[in-house]
Each structure stands twice: as structure tokens, then as C-alpha cells.
Structure 1
Amino acid sequence: MAEPQIKDQRGWAPVDTGYLDNPKMLDVLDASGTAALMHLASVLYCAQHLTDGHIAPGIARRKVGGTKDDDRLLIDAGMWHEPGHDCPTCEQPEPNKVYVHDFLQHNRTAAKAKRASERASKAAKERWERQRAEQDTPTDATRMPDALHPAMLGDDSSNAEREKERKREGGGSRRTPSRPLPESWTPSPSHIEKCSKERIDLDHEAEKFRNNALAKDMRYANWDRAFTNWLSRDWVKRTSAGLDPMKDW
């Protein structure tokens, strides 16, 4: 017979320090040491698996090497009850099981144990969520790099931007030599269409793009693609929407 899955790894059961001195237990001990162990095993099993005192005798026998004679010894001593018993304080056992005498007089019910476990789980989850929220809250130091407008970034950032553009364009090996922004460069029809759809001020962004390229002596193999990437940046869209990228970013 398969044993049920453990419900609570932290289960416990109260055991009186005078457990072995109980008159019933003394009589059982005189007759069979394994029967006494079977009774203790049944108490612990019921508490661990939240059975409210119901247990199949075979489970207790298997745990301590007991016998069916030990079953009868515990039943006759009134420490276990079989179906049809007349103990006024104990439940009738489930089919093919016995009931541990006065189990619920000394142990919490399965429902109470479940509520306690749910409260503990809820409290642990709330603590974890608070800790995670604290860890995810950005500090001024972590916010600062994102708050900077690209035009304010130094040479290191410019180099990083150029490296990203180079990788996007050539995958690590340049097919076309990079060159400065041609004086004759103007936005392409696709740029005009994109700005029209996204309500971006094309003339304003093109002027900023030229100034940025000249100020940083930037080199690209494909300046049209570079401007497309420029228009795709979030801060460009925020500016076109009327937001101050330095204040609202």
C-alpha cells in the first residue's frame, strides 16, 4: 500500500515527557516493545500526513517491524480504536484503518494545520516581494546614465555608438569604408514617410543629426541607415511628442 505524500515537511507532534510512564503504555511495553514503537509511529505519521488520527495498521507495522499481534495489543489496551468502538471522545476510524486514541485532544486538526501553513506561505511571499521591490528600485546612480541625452555623452559613448552601428551594418567586417557625413546628404523619401507617420519634426532632427555627426567627427558606411536608427531612438520620439528628454526621461 503506497503511503500518501507528505503534506508538511515541518510537521510536528507533541509527545508528553511521561509518555512511556502512562499506565496503558507500561502494560504494552511489558508485552511488546515493538507495539509501543508502533503507537509512537502512528502518532507521528498522523501528525505528519495530517490524517486527523486515522492510520492503516500496516503502515505502523512496516515502520518498526511490528506484527498483527501488536495491532491487537494496542487495540485491546485502548490506544488504537478499530471500527465500531465505543470510546465517547474519539471518531470512528475510516475503512480498513484504526484511530489513534485522543489524537485530536493533543494535536491540531488538518484544517488548522493547513491554515497555519497558508498563512506562513503568504507571509513568506510578501517578504520576498518586498525584498524584490527594494532590489528593483533604481538608485540615483543607476538612473543617471539613462537620464543623459545622447548629445551630452562623451567620446566613450560616441565610440560605443559607432561600434554598434558598425556591427549592425557589417556584422563585424566592413563591406563599405566608413566616411564622414557628405555635405550633400539629405533625408531620404523613406525618412520623410517615417517622420510623417510618427509625427516627428524631420527638419529639426536632421539638423541635430548633422550637428552631432560633425561635432563628433563620426564615420558611417551608410548614412541613410544611421539616420534611420537615429529616428528610431526613444528620446527622438519623446521630443516629437512634446516631452523634454532631459526632464521627463
Structure 2
Amino acid sequence: MELKTAVVTGASSGIGAATARHLAREGYRVLCVARRADRIQALADEIGGMAVPCDITDEDQVQTLAQTVGDQLDLLVNNAGGAVGLEPVGEADLDAWETMYRVNVLGTAQVTKTLLPALEAARGTIVFVTSTAADGGYEGGAGYCGAKAAERAIVETMRLELFDKPVRITEICPGMVHTDEFSLTRFHGDQAKADKVYAGVAEPLVADDVADAITWMATRPRHVNIDRMTIRPRAQAAQFKVFRES
């Protein structure tokens, strides 16, 4: 069987690292992409993949990534992103907003644009990891919700633009996922604030849950397109309604 190749951005931790592991078990040769070279090298060694240090907001580094990929790519998982801060608009840190937009939107667009010819050549699949934050605003979330909504606009637009091309455009929208770094990054390293996000939630999603869903989406028959999958823990009935044990 012909070996398939996947690129996973943001592969140094969390959902990205878990997805790389799941895809490797499915027989993909995985290019693990992130800024932290030591982490992705350890991951690549573990799964028999390749570490490609890359800041997706840097055009030259993305071009180097494309050269490493070559002429064909079966799967691109646009996972790199993240949230910074949780302030109301009246106290917004606009530098943080700019960072979120640059990574979640512009970086994702740059990687997708650059690798699209290789994806078309392989009749490939793109999985965008957005968020339930793209569904609507919540207090303190304007910057992140806006960035993820803009990323969703890329998904919806590309599906229309490539309707006659052999490339699948898919989106997964995780709700509450307990990973080591997402909330810690959001709260600038404040562990107490990060822990409070998941307080009382006995079984939030973990990275493996989302990675398992991404892998299922990517391995459907070619004619099957999973336009959008929302994945939440059972305890999260909606973005604003979560059951917490006392």
C-alpha cells in the first residue's frame, strides 16, 4: 500500500501531538510542524515521522516547509492556533488580539495556500481545527471568537472555491478540551486560573478524543466530506452551560 503523508501544525503538544500519534498508527508518514524543535523531534522519533521546525506566520519558514513536503501531500491538519487573554472588550489587550489573528488566521491561510498545489496533486484532505468559539461570542472571548470565526470563513470559502477540485475541506470544532497548555497560555502561565476553567468537570475532553475524531474524518472514503464536526464533553451542553460537580 502506498504510504500517505500528513502535515500536522502545532504538533509540539496537545491536540497536535495526539493527532500525529493517531495518524502514525493509521500508517501515515507524519511531518510534525511547530516552533519548538526539541519537542517535535522527540515526537517524530517516537512515531517514525519527521520534525519540521516552522513558525507558520513566517513566510520563508512556510516555504521551507513546502520544499520539505514536496510535490504531493495527502493530509494537512491545520491545528496551530490558540487563545491569549480573557478580558472584556473595554479592557482588551489588542496586541494579544493581533497575535491570535496572526496565528489562527493568517498563519493558517499561509500554510494552506502554500501547500494547496501538493494537496491537489494528491487528491488530499485539509482538516481545520477551529473551535466552538467560532459559533458565537462569550464574555471575554471577543478576540479569540473573532479569530476562530475568521478561520471558519476560510473553511467555508475554500469549500466553495474548490468545489470542482479533488480536495476535501473539513472542520472540527472542539468544545472544552483539557490539555496541558491551552488555558495556561491563555492566562499567561497562571496555573490557578487555568485549573479553574475545568474545575468540577469530571470528564472534559482530552487531546486524544479530538485526535481520534480528526483521524476518523481524514480516513473516510474520498467521496465523503465531513463538512463540520462539533465535539464536546457530555458535561458541556452548550458553550455557556457546563455541569460542574460541587
Fold match, TM over 0.5?
A: no
Q: Higher strand fraction: Structure 1 or Structure 2? A: 2
Q: TM-score scaled by structure 2? A: 0.20
> Which protein is bigger by CA-based radius of gyration?
1
Q: Higher helix fraction: Structure 1 or Structure 2? A: 1
